[in-house]
């Protein structure tokens, strides 16, 4: 074993991948996790007699060298005979289903002729304006959308839905939020209409999935970490990072209500940045905490509804774009893996986003279920209340980093503030405030381990690498 003791904070995809790779490289590692299981948001939970993911979680396969390298490295962790799925997602728009990512021609032929004409007219005007006007940097998601898609298509397909998901008018959301849809430009629409796959990084069509749920992936990694002689402590929330001078010397966590301490040479954190900043003892400069308090997370309620029928749809999930819905998405676990749900039953997961300081967050499970049921009955799949056998409500407090306008003015000082601690590196969705997916976070876990092996805890070099990485993702690459 190498002589550098590393503590990893959080056992989600980023933390587990980092700990696994460091274990392979011979480092002594301890992972501290608040939850009673590994996987973070990528975990499988039991709901009555069903196994379901904590919100639908499939592992993306992109046609890029980076993605191929990740899959090659972690394929053994997917268990026997993993599923390779073809993306089966839809949107419900004006009462009709459309393939997602949206196909422009399908939308145009699906909506009323009048609406279709408005979409085309607005789109052409927007395209002309974009071509003629000097390239101006869009600031808000709305500006980006109207400029690239035209007002009608933008409102219909992105504006209404995004305002509900993020809980803000899209004029107050940064255009960086467009990272996921950034490829829906004229060039791509033409290429896709001609049947040419435009950008493999964005338009992936395949997923990989362990037959018994996404947890298998991270539990298998946990087994490899333990086989290497390293340690994962569950139900062990981190409470304090104690510094001697600049460097973190000890990590304090709670177990069975009592504080415990681990000495360390370096720390990798996947925790939400505001929590991380609040744990630092002595404190970081007050401006870092002030900026951290401006980084907001959107929370999710997950409502699982078990139905006394074999199947509701053929889809992995369906996005609900219309104004009439309060919930964002409905997914059906058995369509991802039939091994997780009995053949004669199905279970749905419905997602509803809210802020933690609004009454919805504290509403009773029954009230939340009623909202989800009301929307489910509206979806047009013929569900009746009599079919509901059971329901279960849980939540994800920090589901989505929210990109408010100019959020970087707060994010960058926070990232600089925490990386001023020379033996602390942050990564993952919360450690970077980056709305990314599991494959990205596995990549970051592997990258950080290789960075330490090559260069030790060089927090400034890691920060530069991460800022460059984030800029690529913000640009939709
Ligand atoms: C509803 C939903 C659906 C999604 N679907 C997909 C999908 O289909 N495919 C995909 O690739 N990605 C998906 N994602 C994104 C995916 O969940 C994230 O990319 C991934 O989980 C982030 O990994 P992470 O390790 O960075 O963070 P997390 O998974 O959030 O892990 C962080 C860990 O830190 C722990 N922690 C927090 N505070 C403390 C503390 N004080 N002490 C100790 N531990 C602590 C948490 O309990 C958690 O286990 C989805 C996200 C959501 C919200």
Per-residue pLDDT of the chain (477 residues; tens, 9 = 90+): 788 999 999 999 999 999 999 999 999 999 999 999 999 999 999 998 899 999 999 999 988 888 899 999 999 999 999 999 998 899 999 889 988 877 777 888 888 889 889 988 998 888 888 888 766 676 899 988 888 889 998 898 889 999 999 999 999 999 888 765 545 554 455 555 555 555 555 667 889 999 999 999 999 999 999 999 999 999 999 999 999 999 999 999 999 999 999 999 999 999 999 999 999 999 999 999 999 999 999 999 999 999 999 999 999 999 999 999 999 999 999 999 999 999 999 999 999 999 999 999 999 999 999 999 999 999 999 999 999 999 999 999 999 999 999 999 999 999 999 999 999 999 999 999 999 999 999 999 999 999 999 999 999 999 999 999 999 888 878
Q: Which pLDDT does position 191 carry in this prediction?
A: 53
Count of domains in the chain? 3
Q: Which pLDDT does position 38 carry in this prediction?
A: 98
The domain in which residue 140 lies consists of: 102-193
Q: Are strands 266-269 and 6-9 parallel, antiparallel or unpaired?
A: parallel
Q: Could you tell which of 214, 353, 437 is best to mutate to test the pocket of ligand 1, judged by most ligand atoms within 8 Å of the CB?
A: 437
Structure tokens at 433: 């405030």
Q: Are strands 266-269 and 388-401 parallel, antiparallel or unpaired?
A: unpaired
Residue 90 domain flag = no
Residue 23 to residues 66, 230, 332, 426, 450, Cα–Cα distance (Å): 22, 7, 36, 18, 11
Q: Which pLDDT does position 262 carry in this prediction?
A: 98
- Shared domain for 225 and 129, answered yes or no, is no
Residue 137 domain flag = yes
Residue 470 domain flag = yes
DSSP secondary structure letter of residue 84: E
CA of 42 to the centre of ligand 1 (A): 6
Ligand 1 contact via 167 beta carbon (within 6 Å) = no
Within 8 A by CB and 6+ apart from 144, the residues are: 138, 175, 178
Q: Which pLDDT does position 463 carry in this prediction?
A: 98
Residue 292 to residues 120, 301, 372, 422, 464, Cα–Cα distance (Å): 43, 24, 33, 19, 19
Q: What is the dihedral of CA 403, 448, 74, 11, to 10 degrees?
A: -70
Measure the CA–CA gap between 293 and 289, rounded to whole angstroms.
Answer: 6
CATH number of the domain at 311, please.
3.90.660.20
Structure tokens at 70: 């990740």
CA of 37 to the centre of ligand 1 (A): 12
- Shared domain for 274 and 411, answered yes or no, is yes
Q: Are 230 and 224 in contact (CB under 8 A)?
A: no
- Shared domain for 396 and 469, answered yes or no, is no
- Shared domain for 302 and 378, answered yes or no, is yes
Residue 262 to residues 17, 138, 265, 414, Cα–Cα distance (Å): 21, 47, 10, 25
Residue 466 domain flag = yes
Q: Which pLDDT does position 303 carry in this prediction?
A: 98
Residue 201 domain flag = no
Residue 63 domain flag = no
User: Residue 297 pairs with which residues in a beta bridge?
Assistant: 401
Strand segments, DSSP code E, in 234-291 are 238-244, 247-255, 258-263, 266-269, 280-281
CA of 35 to the centre of ligand 1 (A): 12
DSSP secondary structure letter of residue 138: P
Ligand 1 contact via 34 beta carbon (within 6 Å) = yes
Measure the CA–CA gap between 224 and 75, rounded to whole angstroms.
Answer: 13
Nearest protein CA to atom 37 of ligand 1, as residue: 271
Nearest protein CA to atom 29 of ligand 1, as residue: 40
Q: Which pLDDT does position 205 carry in this prediction?
A: 82
Nearest protein CA to atom 1 of ligand 1, as residue: 55
CA of 38 to the centre of ligand 1 (A): 10
Q: Which pLDDT does position 423 carry in this prediction?
A: 98
User: Residue 306 pairs with which residues in a beta bridge?
Assistant: 347, 390
- Shared domain for 392 and 328, answered yes or no, is yes
- Shared domain for 284 and 412, answered yes or no, is yes
Q: For residue 80, report the phi and psi dihedrals to the nearest 5 degrees.
A: -70, 140
- Shared domain for 301 and 372, answered yes or no, is yes
User: Residue 173 pairs with which residues in a beta bridge?
Assistant: 404
Residue 115 domain flag = yes
Residue 314 domain flag = yes
Ligand 1 contact via 401 beta carbon (within 6 Å) = no
Measure the CA–CA gap between 365 and 391, rounded to whole angstroms.
Answer: 9
HSE-up of residue 189 (Cα within 13 Å, Cβ side): 18
Would you say the C-alpha torsion 389, 395, 396, 401 has a positive or negative sign? positive
């Amino acid at each position: 074993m190498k002589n550098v003791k590393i503590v990893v904070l959080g056992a989600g995809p980023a933390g587990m991948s980092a700990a696994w790779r460091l274990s392979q490289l011979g480092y002594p590692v301890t992972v501290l996790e608040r939850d009673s299981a590994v996987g973070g948001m990528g975990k499988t939970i039991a709901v009555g007699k069903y196994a379901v993911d904590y919100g639908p979680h499939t592992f993306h396969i992109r046609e890029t060298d980076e993605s191929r390298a990740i899959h090659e490295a972690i394929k053994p962790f997917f268990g026997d005979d993993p599923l390779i799925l073809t993306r089966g997602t839809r949107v419900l728009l004006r009462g009709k289903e459309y393939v997602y990512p949206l196909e422009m021609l399908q939308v145009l032929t699906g909506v009323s002729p009048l609406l279709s004409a408005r979409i085309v007219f607005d789109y052409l005007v927007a395209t002309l304006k974009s071509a003629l006007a000097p390239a101006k940097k869009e600031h808000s998601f709305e500006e980006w959308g109207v400029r690239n898609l035209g007002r009608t298509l933008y409102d219909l397909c992105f504006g209404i839905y995004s305002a509900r998901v993020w809980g803000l008018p899209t004029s107050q959301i940064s255009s960086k939020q467009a990272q996921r849809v950034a490829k829906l430009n004229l060039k791509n629409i033409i290429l896709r209409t001609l049947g040419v796959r435009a950008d493999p990084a964005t338009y992936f069509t395949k997923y990989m999935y362990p037959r018994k749920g996404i947890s298998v992936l991270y539990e298998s990694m946990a087994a490899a970490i333990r086989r290497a002689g390293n340690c994962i402590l569950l139900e062990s929330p981190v409470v304090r990072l104690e510094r001697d001078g600049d460097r973190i010397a000890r990590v304090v966590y709670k177990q069975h209500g009592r504080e415990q301490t681990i000495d360390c040479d370096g720390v990798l954190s996947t925790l939400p940045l505001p929590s991380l900043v609040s744990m630092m003892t002595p404190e970081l400069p007050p401006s870092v905490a002030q900026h951290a308090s401006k980084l907001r997370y959107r929370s999710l309620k997950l409502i699982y509804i078990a139905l006394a029928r074999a199947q509701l749809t053929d889809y992995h999930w369906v996005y609900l774009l219309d104004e009439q819905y309060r919930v964002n998405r409905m997914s059906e676990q058995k369509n991802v893996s039939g091994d997780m749900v009995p053949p004669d039953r199905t279970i749905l997961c419905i997602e509803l986003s809210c802020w933690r300081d609004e009454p919805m967050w504290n509403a009773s499970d029954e009230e939340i279920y009623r909202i989800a049921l009301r929307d489910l009955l509206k979806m047009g799949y013929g569900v009746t209340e009599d079919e509901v056998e059971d329901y279960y409500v849980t939540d994800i407090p920090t589901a989505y980093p929210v990109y408010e306008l100019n959020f970087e003015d707060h994010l960058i000082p926070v990232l600089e503030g925490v990386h001023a601690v020379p033996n602390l590196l942050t990564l993952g969705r919360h450690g970077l405030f980056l709305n990314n997916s599991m494959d990205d976070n596995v990549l970051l876990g592997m990258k950080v381990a290789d960075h330490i092996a090559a260069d030790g805890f060089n927090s400034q070099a890691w920060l530069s690498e991460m800022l460059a990485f984030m800029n690529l993702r913000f640009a939709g690459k």
